[in-house]
Amino acid sequence: MSDAIMSDDVDWRADRIGAALRGENPTVMRRLRAGFAVIGDVQFLPGYSVLLVDDPRVERLSELPRAKRLAFLSDMDALGESVESACRALDPAFRRVNLEILGNTDGFLHAHVWPRFSWEPADLVHLPVWLYPHENWRDVRHALAHRHDALRERITSELDRAAQEA
């Protein structure tokens, strides 16, 4: 039996932000000031996380009022730091975190948090994650699953710690 928790027949993926607002998005780790910290559907780089803005109508960072824009960027920083702390503690091959706001596929504002590791293939370790083979996003071996629970809990604990310090 697979330990996968992400199935292809789940409706919440069609409206990730609405599902998060309704408490129905299973990837949500924590509500932040301007959005939701979620663990990625794929984990070929364990710890991959995403910050979703909390208003699905917002497509660009520039559409947020200045205070909320700064809160979103601060949330992105907190998520990045939390992923870094968790990955550093759980994998000695951890190298760094890459933060990206792209918006080329999904029409809502979101930020990717990609942990990077020294065990990555030599031809990819210094390149953008988007140059990994497309199969990595669809391969069930990389799907978010219960085996990622400890990592998810560690990132969430780091987010909780950061919120208490803020």
- Kind and range of the H or E element at 94? strand 94-100
Does the domain spanning 11-165 belong to CATH 3.40.50.2020? no
pLDDT at 4: 54
Q: What is the pLDDT of residues 31-82, one digit of tens each?
A: 999 999 999 999 999 999 999 999 999 999 999 999 999 999 999 999 999 9
**CA–CA separation, 34 vs 119, rounded Å?**
34
- Confidence check: pLDDT of 8 > 70: no
Domain ranges of the chain: 11-165
Does the predicted model carry a pTM greater than 0.85? Answer: yes
Mean pLDDT of the chain: 92
Report percent pLDDT > 90 for the chain: 85
Phi-psi category of residue 124: left, alpha or beta, with phi > 0 → left and psi -120 to 50 → alpha: alpha
Q: Tell me the pLDDT band of 1, cut-offs 50, 70 and 90.
A: very low
At residue 2, does pLDDT exceed 50?
A: no
Question: Percent helix, strand, coil in the chain (nearest 5)?
Answer: 40, 20, 40
